[in-house]
């Protein structure tokens, strides 16, 4: 049985092993696959794995042998799951593998904004401290997070983890979620006060986004929602780039309405040169690396191979189609 990985480089640039998949069949791994290369590489293949290589309807219609598409990510919007469902193609994803790493990145962005560690390290290496008169110096305002209010828009496993870290630093934590908040959830996260979105916008000093990308959340953070927020609010986004209307956020950063933005995701990746966030002040951008620690990618590999193993045994798991 042939197994084809279409874009394996980001998951495994060479520091982890494909052995879990090699045990399941004849494995071929391509670092990248251009759209026009898909058909040749998947000719006669029933099982493929993809991260960002897209499978819209017009591609799937030309791949009659495909029976399984394993997404090497939590998101599965690169695949037309409606088509797959209608044609018996099983699509799986990797839920929750990056909970710890994404929570870590969220807090890392917040700490960089609050303490400006990287900025001050650069200044020290540039000789500013060497030339200084006093035993210390700081460039710009620094922030103590204890006593500040963190608002979490969306509250799944990642947001729950973020809430615990923030609470340990002395922050007050608010959260809102689409579905009902149960007594079990309140008991599991007693450090969190659950509120409606308008209360979250109004009362939070820092707002962090942990929601899926849907029709309702696309462009959620626009000029109208920003107007409801505190002056000088800090925004964090480690969910999906299109949750932010980037033009509106950039404008609010320029005016000072938003004091700073920390984001690991943007609307189009790699980031385009014309993205307004690149020239907005007080903007901290990382290149979609929250999921990238080695330990996290090993976990992803294990879950992905387990998904395929379950499919081959006739009892598929983590099915999204």
Enumerate the domain spans of the chain.
Answer: 2-97+294-312, 99-285
Q: Is the peptide bond before 270 cis (omega within 30 degrees of 0)?
A: yes
Catalytic entry in 120, 161, 210, 288? 288
SS3 content of the chain, % helix, strand, coil (to 5): 35, 15, 50
Asked if 125 is an active-site residue, the reply is no
Beta pairing, strands 283-285 & 149-153: unpaired
Task: Say if residue 153 is exposed, middle or buried (CB neighbours under 10 Å; 0-12, 13-18, 19+).
Answer: buried
Question: What backbone phi and psi angles, to 5 degrees, belong to 29?
Answer: -115, 125
At the fourth CATH level, the homologous superfamily of domain 99-285 is NAD(P)-binding Rossmann-like Domain (3.40.50.720)
Q: Same CATH fold, 99-285 and 2-97+294-312?
A: yes
d(CA 146, CA 126): 31
Q: Residue 114: which of 232, 251, 268 has the closest Cα? A: 232
d(CA 291, CA 308): 21
d(CA 95, CA 74): 5
Alpha helix segments (H runs only) across 189-240: 197-203, 223-227
Q: Find out whether 245 and 223 touch, Cβ atoms under 8 Å.
A: yes
d(CA 93, CA 304): 8
Asked if 61 is an active-site residue, the reply is no
**In the block, residue with structure tokens 């109208």:** 224
The 8-class DSSP code of residue 111 comes to H
DSSP-assigned beta bridge partners for residue 233: 258
Q: Find out whether 46 and 67 touch, Cβ atoms under 8 Å.
A: yes
What's the confidence (pLDDT) of residue 182?
Answer: 87
Beta-carbon count within 10 A of 79 CB? 24
Between 3.40.50.2300, 3.40.50.720, 3.30.70.2190, 3.20.20.70, what CATH number should domain 2-97+294-312 receive? 3.40.50.720
What is the SS3 string spanning 7-69? CCCCCCCCCCCCHHHHCCCEEEECCCCCHHHHHHHCCCCCEEEECCCCECHHHHCCCCCCCEE
Catalytic entry in 269, 272, 294, 295? 269
What 137-144 contacts at long range (C-beta under 8 Å, 24+ apart), as own/partner pairs, is 140/116, 142/114, 142/115, 142/116, 143/113, 143/114, 143/115, 144/114
This prediction has a pTM of 0.93
Q: Would the CA dihedral through 111, 205, 211, 280 be positive or negative?
A: negative
**Kind and range of the H or E element at 303?**
helix 294-312
Question: What backbone phi and psi angles, to 5 degrees, belong to 161?
Answer: -65, -45
Assigned token pair, 94: 């990797």
Q: Find out whether 49 and 70 touch, Cβ atoms under 8 Å.
A: yes
d(CA 245, CA 249): 6
Catalytic entry in 240, 246, 297, 299? 240
d(CA 10, CA 15): 11
Asked if 240 is an active-site residue, the reply is yes
d(CA 120, CA 115): 9
Per-residue pLDDT of the chain (321 residues; tens, 9 = 90+): 899 999 999 999 999 999 999 999 999 999 999 999 999 999 999 999 999 999 999 999 999 999 999 999 998 989 999 999 999 999 999 998 999 999 999 999 999 999 999 999 999 999 999 999 999 999 999 999 999 999 999 999 999 999 999 999 999 999 999 888 888 889 989 999 999 999 999 999 999 999 988 899 999 999 999 999 999 999 999 999 999 999 999 999 999 999 999 999 999 999 999 999 999 999 999 999 999 999 999 999 999 999 999 999 999 999 999
């Amino acid at each position: 049985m042939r197994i084809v990985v279409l874009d394996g480089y980001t998951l495994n640039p060479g520091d982890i092993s494909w052995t879990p998949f090699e045990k399941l069949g004849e494995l071929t791994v391509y670092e990248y696959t251009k759209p026009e290369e898909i058909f040749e590489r998947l000719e006669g293949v029933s099982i493929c794995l993809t991260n960002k290589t897209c499978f819209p309807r017009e591609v799937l219609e030309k791949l009659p042998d495909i029976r399984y598409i394993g997404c090497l990510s939590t998101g599965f919007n690169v695949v037309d799951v409606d088509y797959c469902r209608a044609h018996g193609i099983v699509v799986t994803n990797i839920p929750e593998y990056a909970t710890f790493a994404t929570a870590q990145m969220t807090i890392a962005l917040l700490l960089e904004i609050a303490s400006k560690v990287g900025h001050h390290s650069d200044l020290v290496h540039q000789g500013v401290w060497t030339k200084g008169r006093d035993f210390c110096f700081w460039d710009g305002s620094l922030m103590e997070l204890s006593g500040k209010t963190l608002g979490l828009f969306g509250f799944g496993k990642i947001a729950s983890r973020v809430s615990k870290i923030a609470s340990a630093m002395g922050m007050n934590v608010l959260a809102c979620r689409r579905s009902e908040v149960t007594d079990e959830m309140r008991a599991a996260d007693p450090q969190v006060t659950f509120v409606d979105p308008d209360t979250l916008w109004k009362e939070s000093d820092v707002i962090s986004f942990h929601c899926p990308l849907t029709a309702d959340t696309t462009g959620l953070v626009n000029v109208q929602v920003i107007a409801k927020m505190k002056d000088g609010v800090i925004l964090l986004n480690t969910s999906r780039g299109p949750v932010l209307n980037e033009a509106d956020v950039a404008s609010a950063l320029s005016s000072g309405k938003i004091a700073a933005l920390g984001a690991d995701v943007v609307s189009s990746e790699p980031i385009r040169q014309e993205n307004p966030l690149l020239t907005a002040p007080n903007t901290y951008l990382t290149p979609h690396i929250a999921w990238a620690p080695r330990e996290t990618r090993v976990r992803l590999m294990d879950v992905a191979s387990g998904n395929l193993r379950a499919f081959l045994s006739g009892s598929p798991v983590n099915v999204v189609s």
